[in-house]
Amino acid sequence: MAEERRSRSTEAFYGRRHGKTLRSRQASSLEAVLGKAKIDLSMPAPADLKTLFPAPVDGVRMEIGFGGGEHLLHESGRFPATGFIGVEPFVNGMAKMTMALEESPRGNLRLYNDDATRVLDWLPDASLDGIDLFYPDPWPKKRHWKRRFVSTVNLDRFARVLKPGAKFRFASDIDTYVNWTLAHCRAHPAFEWLAAGPEDWETPYEAWPGTRYEAKALREGRTPAYLTFVRGKGPLGFPPSTVAGRYA
């Protein structure tokens, strides 16, 4: 699993940023809502990340690549006392989110429309209660595997910003990416896979609303997997334990 450890100066963002041309209403919504909700990384991160939100919150979670925002909107409405940071560089996805927020504003939701690693590097140590990464680009060709978001360097980032006991959740319908993620997380000293049997990765998360990407996968006959990893205690966490019924 050897892979080159990239530095900030050598890292590159992979993925689409633009799709169809935005309609005028989408463009105006994007400008108005994102102008207020976007995190300003030119300013130092607050020592207490909860102060980042207009509404009072008692914890902060992050969703990387929220797509059309189905899950992020659902969770931020379901947990109004939790702050959410949503990252989506794809302009059309962000426009869907901002239009939804015009209809239903959220004081517990902040947004960022560029590379998620920049937010991760900006965040204080042990400041997040959870990270969600659902249906990321699988980059199926072997020569492109280095572009996958799950990597040793990004797991190092997760380990730094997650509180001990916080969870990293990953969902995908691509078996090779599921196995890739398991291999990387099992090899990382900070993460433990929470699974005792097949039902743990075959069953969607509690109150799972689904996403349009998942619906497409199901229509095309692919079966999603839902993985949950916990951040271990201490600076390096603890090594993965042997868990019965591993995903194979």
pLDDT at 20: 66
pLDDT category at 50 given cuts 50, 70, 90 is very high
Q: Under a CB-based contact definition with an 8 Å cutoff, are residues 246 and 195 in contact?
A: yes
In sequence order, the β-bridge partners of residue 64 are 87, 133
3-state secondary structure of 233: coil
Please check the confidence at residue 238 and state whether its pLDDT lies above 70: no
Average pLDDT along the chain: 88
pLDDT category at 120 given cuts 50, 70, 90 is very high
pLDDT category at 139 given cuts 50, 70, 90 is confident
| Mean pLDDT within 229-237 | 72
Does 132 participate in catalysis according to the annotation? Answer: no
CATH number of 32-231, picked from 3.20.20.140, 3.40.50.150, 3.90.1640.10, 2.40.110.10: 3.40.50.150
pLDDT category at 236 given cuts 50, 70, 90 is very low
pLDDT at 181: 97
pLDDT category at 65 given cuts 50, 70, 90 is very high
All structural domains of the chain with their residue ranges: 32-231
Kindly name the residue from 114, 115, 121, 137 that is annotated as catalytic. Answer: 137
Listed residue (119, 206, 129) closest to 157, CA to CA: 119
Integer CA distances (angstroms), 165 to 3, 102, 160, 190, 192, in order: 27, 34, 12, 10, 10
In sequence order, the β-bridge partners of residue 227 are 170
DSSP string, 141-206: SGGGGGGSS--HHHHHHHHHHEEEEEEEEEEES-HHHHHHHHHHHHHSTTEEE--SSTHHHHSPPT
Listed residue (107, 156, 99) closest to 131, CA to CA: 156
Q: Tens digit of pLDDT for each residue in 170-192?
A: 999 999 999 999 999 999 999 99
Please check the confidence at residue 25 and state whether its pLDDT lies above 90: no
pLDDT at 23: 80
Q: Tens digit of pLDDT for each residue in 143-172?
A: 888 999 999 999 999 999 999 999 999 999
* Residue of 8 and 201 predicted with greater confidence: 201
